[in-house]
Amino acid sequence: MSTAFDVIVIGAGPGGYIAAIRAAQLGFKVACIDEWKNAKGGPAPGGTCTNVGCIPSKALLQSSEHFDHANHHFSEHGISAKDVKIDVAQMMARKESVVKQNNDGILYLFKKNKVTFLHGSGNFVGKSEGGYEIRIRGQAEEIITGKQVIIATGSNARNLPGVPFDEVNVLSNDGALRVGAVPKKLALIGSGVIGLEVGSVWRRLGAQVSILEGLPTFLGAVDEQIAKEAKKAFEKQGLKIELGVKVGEIVNGKKGVTVNYTNAKGEALVLEVDKLVVSIGRVPNTMGLDAQAIGLQLDERGAIAVDAECKTNLPGVWAIGDVVRGPMLAHKAEEEGVAVAERIAGQHGHVNFNTIPWVIYTSPEIAWVGRTEQQLKADGVAYKAGTFPFLANGRARALGDTTGMVKVLADAVTDEILGVHMVGPQVSELISEAVVAMAFKASAEDIARICHAHPSLSEATKEAALAVDKRTLNF
Ligand code: FAD
Ligand code: NAI
């Protein structure tokens, strides 16, 4: 007889493990299945985010930023640091230990919340009276039954046609975060989020980095003014970004990779590099689910088709996170996980898609929430804009990092905040204030009238809100 659960979650990435914990908190008998293995073959819950995404990339960004500061900024503070060296093996070992802390933390949370964790791959077998039957192939094989199933199987890196990832020379996000020595020359295809974050890591450590982007615009989803400021800063640091290119033949040879491409002027060019990272987006992962065994519908992108509430075409089957429509972000997956668990419990789980923040963890960081100026124009919305540069912020001067600005966009009539866009130091943290403000439908004047600590970078947000009404105090 198979073990019966109220809720089975397939995938223990940020969407799945959070959904499992919330469902258990609500009193359900929950199982969470995940197939990810650590180097020793043991369980490594946390998905892409914990193992080869958010967490390891931020660990390497931190290490490489320290290296960059020691090399280029310590002297401004009167600190001499000669012969600064990077031990890539130690940097990677630290990253792995950060990943492991997160894996172990999730296993602890499962225990604490009485979620049954099953290490192995899960696939649909069929439907019986007890619910959906799922086979787990791990150390042993077993079939479990769930009245409700939440699919959270995430996404995989997209490869260029005919150019498979070998994770030695042609790297996905996985290989790009495991390189054993600083490459002399590194190329990245795609100047999206991974291209910029991973490119920054290896540039700071001394690689000559070229990013080839197919689109003619840089970071098209970002507010144009912010994207322009960021591009200027990245190019000043030495990141070479070419827009509007057409990538041609790629040869993965013994000594490295040859990338043939045509630039925006139509000139045929060749780039010889030691390593190539392909960061051209990700594809939803439904491989191995046997979706057809229960007649689960996919959409034209191969994502699981869901409605606004994450319901699939089958009663009692839900899907969340990267495997469905919407931004591929860990916190979006988590919000959907909580909302679905609450809906299963008959509550009114809710995700506000208009207030999901985005952050790119480069230096300067880029962060935003809500609509950009170009979107407001396209939507025909009358708006007011206020900007404030970090150059005029005391804390930014003390930090020695005055790049960038905060920009607040508010409705011309009601003053409601419609979007907040930032480029500069620690804006990954500053953006939360804007998210809270938008969630509570605050006006720009609300932020302008709130007392912000001095000296703090957050004063730039207050000043940008004041700028909406053309009354900055410090600029
Ligand atoms: P995933 O995290 O992909 O988890 C899916 C899990 O399901 C995996 O563990 C997989 O093994 C398991 N699985 C799949 N199929 C099966 C099966 N049949 N049986 C059992 N288990 C299965 N997002 C951010 O918000 N902030 C960031 O800073 C950030 N940085 C990133 C950096 C990189 C390099 C990358 C690649 C991504 C980054 N992301 C970031 C995106 C983020 O990682 C994803 O949006 C997030 O992990 C999606 O969560 P998920 O739960 O939907 O899926
Ligand atoms: P992306 O969608 O951010 O960027 C891909 C880029 O590649 C785009 O600019 C696109 O125009 C370009 N491109 C696509 N095909 C191309 C081609 N053939 N030739 C040249 N350029 C091409 O995708 P990316 O960087 O792979 O990241 C995937 C996702 O992972 C992100 O969209 C994001 O959801 C998530 N992520 C989030 C992070 C964060 O929140 N800080 C960090 C890293 C990833």
pLDDT digit string (tens) for 246-283? 999 999 998 899 999 999 999 999 999 999 999 999 99
- Please indicate whether residue 341, judged by its CB atom, sits closer than 6 Å to ligand 2: no
* Ligand 2 pocket residue status of 175, Cβ below 6 Å: no
Question: Alpha carbon of 393 to those of 207, 234, 399, 423: distances in Å?
Answer: 32, 21, 10, 14
User: Which residues, in sequence order, are CB contacts of 134 under 8 Å at separation 6+?
Assistant: 8, 10, 33, 122, 123, 124, 125, 143, 144, 145, 146, 149
Ligand 1 atom, smallest distance to 58 CA: 28
Strand arrangement of the beta sheet that strand 417-424 belongs to: 358-360, 365-370, 417-424, 405-411, 383-389
First CA to last CA distance, the chain: 72
Q: Find out whether the beta carbon of 280 lies less than 6 Å from any atom of ligand 2.
A: yes
Does residue 3 surpass a pLDDT of 80? yes
Do 453 and 427 form a contact (C-beta atoms < 8 A)? no
Largest CA distance in the chain: 73
User: Positive or negative, the Cα torsion across 177, 178, 180, 185?
Assistant: negative
Closest atom of ligand 1 to 34 CA is 21
Closest atom of ligand 2 to 361 CA is: 41
Per the annotation, the verdict on 454 as an active-site residue is: yes
pLDDT-based confidence at residue 140 (cuts at 50, 70, 90) = confident
Question: Is the distance from the beta carbon of residue 363 to the nearest atom of ligand 2 less than 6 Å?
Answer: no
Q: 2: pLDDT confidence band, cut at 50, 70 and 90?
A: confident
- So what's the pLDDT on residue 1? 60
Ligand 1 interacting residues, C-beta cut-off 6 A: 10-16, 33-36, 47-49, 53-54, 57, 121-123, 152-155, 173, 194, 285, 288-289, 321-323, 328-331, 333, 361
Express each pLDDT in 66-88 by its tens digit. 999 999 999 999 999 999 999 99
Alpha-carbon distance of 5 to 329, in angstroms, equals 28
Q: How much is the average pLDDT of 96-119?
A: 98
User: How many angstroms separate the alpha carbon of residue 194 from the centre of ligand 2?
Assistant: 6
Which of 49, 317, 324 gets mutated to test ligand 1 (max ligand atoms within 8 A of its CB)? 49
Helix (H, G, I), strand (E, B) or coil at 279: coil
Name the pairing type of β-strands 268-273 and 257-262. antiparallel
**Catalytic one of 66, 72, 350, 454:** 454
Atom of ligand 2 nearest to the CA of 195: 25
Cα 204 to averaged position of ligand 1 atoms, centre (Å): 26
Name the residue type at position 28.
F
- Is any ligand 2 atom within 6 A of the Cβ of residue 106? no
For the CA of 45, the closest atom of ligand 1 is 9
* Pocket perturbation via mutation, ligand 2, pick of 54, 156, 165, 194 by most ligand atoms within 8 A of CB: 194
- Ligand 1: which of 18, 54, 58, 304 to mutate, judged by most atoms within 8 Å of the beta carbon? 54
Mean pLDDT of 233-253: 97
For residue 166, pLDDT beyond 70:
yes
111 C-alpha to center of ligand 2: Å?
35
Residue carrying structure tokens 């506000």: 352
Residue 111: HSE in the Cβ half-sphere, 13 Å Cα cutoff: 6
Q: How far is the CA of 208 from the centre of ligand 1 (A)?
A: 29
> Ligand 1, atom 27: nearest CA belongs to which residue?
54
Structure confidence at residue 139 (pLDDT): 87
Distance in angstroms (rounded) separating the CA atoms of residues 404 and 423: 5
Q: Establish whether residue 247 lines the binding site of ligand 2, counting it when its CB lies within 6 angstroms of any ligand atom.
A: yes
Give me the pLDDT at residue 465, please. Answer: 98
Handedness of CA 59, 65, 71, 76 (dihedral sign): negative
CA–CA separation, 451 and 459 (whole Å): 9
Does 279 contact ligand 2 (Cβ within 6 A)?
Answer: yes
Domains and CATH numbers, the chain: 3-157+283-351 (3.50.50.60), 170-280 (3.50.50.60), 355-468 (3.30.390.30)
Q: What is the pLDDT of residues 376-425, one digit of tens each?
A: 999 999 999 999 999 999 999 999 999 999 999 999 999 999 999 999 99
Q: Is residue 234 within 8 Å of 363, Cβ to Cβ?
A: no
Out of 282, 366, 427, give the residue to mutate to test ligand 2, the one with the largest number of ligand atoms within 8 Å of its CB: 282
CA-nearest residue, atom 26 of ligand 1: 54
Give yes or no for residue 356 having a pLDDT over 70.
yes
CB 355 within 8 A of CB 435: yes
Q: Whose CA is nearest to atom 11 of ligand 1?
A: 36
* Mean pLDDT calculated for residue range 442-467: 98
Q: Whose CA is nearest to atom 45 of ligand 1?
A: 329
Neighbours of 41 (CB within 10 A): 9
Q: What is the mean pLDDT of residues 10-29?
A: 98
Share of the chain above pLDDT 70, in %: 100
Nearest CA to ligand 1 atom 37: 53
Distance CA 256, CA 185 (A): 9
> What is the residue-averaged pLDDT of the chain?
97
